[in-house]
Amino acid sequence: MTAEDPASSSTMSNNAAPTKPPQPAGASHPSLHGQINTPEGVAGSPIEPALVSLMERTGYSMVQENGQRKYGPPPGWNATSPPRGCEIFVGKIPRDVYEDELVPVFESVGRIYEMRLMMDFDGKNRGYAFVMYTEKHEAKRAVRELNNYEVRPGRLLGVCSSVDNCRLFIGGIPKTKKREEILDEVSKVTEGVLDVIVYASAADKMKNRGFAFVEYESHRAAAMARRKLMPGRIQLWGHQIAVDWAEPEIDVDEDVMETVKILYVRNLMMETSEETIRQVFSQWNHGCVERVKKIRDYAFVHFTSREDAVMAMDHLNGTEVEGSCIEVTLAKPVDKEQHSRQKASKGTPATPEPAPQNYVYQCDPYTLAYYGYPYNTLIGPNRDYFLRNTVSQCHELS
């Protein structure tokens, strides 16, 4: 999830959690002695005494600005902000539940750096919050232990990891435009552009697919660009464009990635056969490829050992196969059950799905459809664009 758009989520767990908050983890927090100045956003609140009591107990400050009430950082914190991966998203919060109830729950698994509760003008919360911990392992523990926590009788919280998304999806790009042209045009109208990712058309490698992903230097830069590029404000090359957050990349545990024996191969020629791919990828060790599955201009190559997979990736990434420069990466494992939980954390009914682990490449609708994901139920902004332009083609090929 991003601070601006909770729909750009990543992974979460569904383990059962205790229904009563345990005691805070780690060292005890210092208290504020004496009277404190009640900050804006707390003064006049129906639960002002409870919030003041919380600040006195923990020594944390609290302030409301830009539609969110911030709790933290810890007293005496002089270091930089915690690194990426320390923040979680909390959804399905009852509208009358506030920090005095939430903090004890989330500090039970780690030291909170900051909690940001989204607020409405009527003084009620908007149903979601972001909690940043001081360490990554604390955030992972929160996702693992507090998803489906019963904060009120029958009211379960949805907890998942939060992604500081720096990438935008831009659809409606003329298919004749090259990467350099897109980079130049987008850089003229937005600031902080780092890179542009463009994929060649499956049928004609001289054309793009009509969309691109633009990487910015920070989430703030991406958010400002998104506002500026919203429909009706700016056109690119005289064309109306579709702009929103890109689906965040899948965050897979490093230990899990160390076991992957499957390669994802992009930008193959349509006519390249599975047998040709098998021969190319097994040239260093005959028989090392177990099987190949190709979808249009994408393929998954399954190896008997990780060593053979890594060797093939190192040698073949960026090389040409039958006249097309291919991109080779380790496939990222994704649990379909986890996808259902991701939808559920935002209060969206999720259709039960089988649990076997599959391998996909994020932002590739062909692969998602191949592995049985109902793309029209995916969370995120790219859904409608791909539904209109690409996913129907994938179903025709299955």
Better-scored residue on pLDDT, 27 or 384: 384
* Protein fold of 261-326: Alpha-Beta Plaits (3.30.70)
Confidence of residue 33 (pLDDT cuts 50, 70, 90): very low
Selected from 2.40.50.140, 3.30.70.330, 3.40.190.10, 3.40.50.10190, the CATH number assigned to the domain covering 167-245 reads 3.30.70.330
pLDDT tens-digit profile of 151-191?
999 999 999 888 778 899 999 899 999 999 999 999 999 99
Q: Do residues 100 and 107 touch, judged by C-beta distance below 8 A?
A: no
Q: Is 231 left (phi over 0), alpha (psi -120 to 50) or beta?
A: beta
Burial class (CB in 10 A: 0-12, 13-18, 19+), 94: middle
Q: What CATH architecture is 1-164?
A: 2-Layer Sandwich (3.30)
In residues, how long is the chain?
398
- Helices 99-106 and 48-58 cross at an angle (nearest 10°) of 30
The 8 Å CB, 24+ separation contacts for 21-24 are: 21/104, 21/105, 21/108, 22/108, 23/108, 24/104, 24/107, 24/108
Distance CA 215, CA 246 (A): 10
Which residue type occupies 97?
V
pTM assigned to the model: 0.56
- Asked whether the domain spanning 261-326 has the same topology as the one spanning 167-245, the reply is yes
pLDDT at 335: 55
Tokens 């955030």 — which residue? Answer: 139
Using DSSP, state whether 289 is helix, strand or coil. Answer: strand
Confidence of residue 390 (pLDDT cuts 50, 70, 90): very low
**Selection from 380, 351, 352, 317 nearest residue 167 by Cα:** 380
Averaged pLDDT, 217-239: 88
Quote the tokens at residue 147.
């998803």
Parse the chain into domains and list their residue ranges.
1-164, 167-245, 261-326, 331-398
**Selection from 119, 141, 134 nearest residue 86 by Cα:** 134
**Selection from 104, 97, 24, 114 nearest residue 62 by Cα:** 114
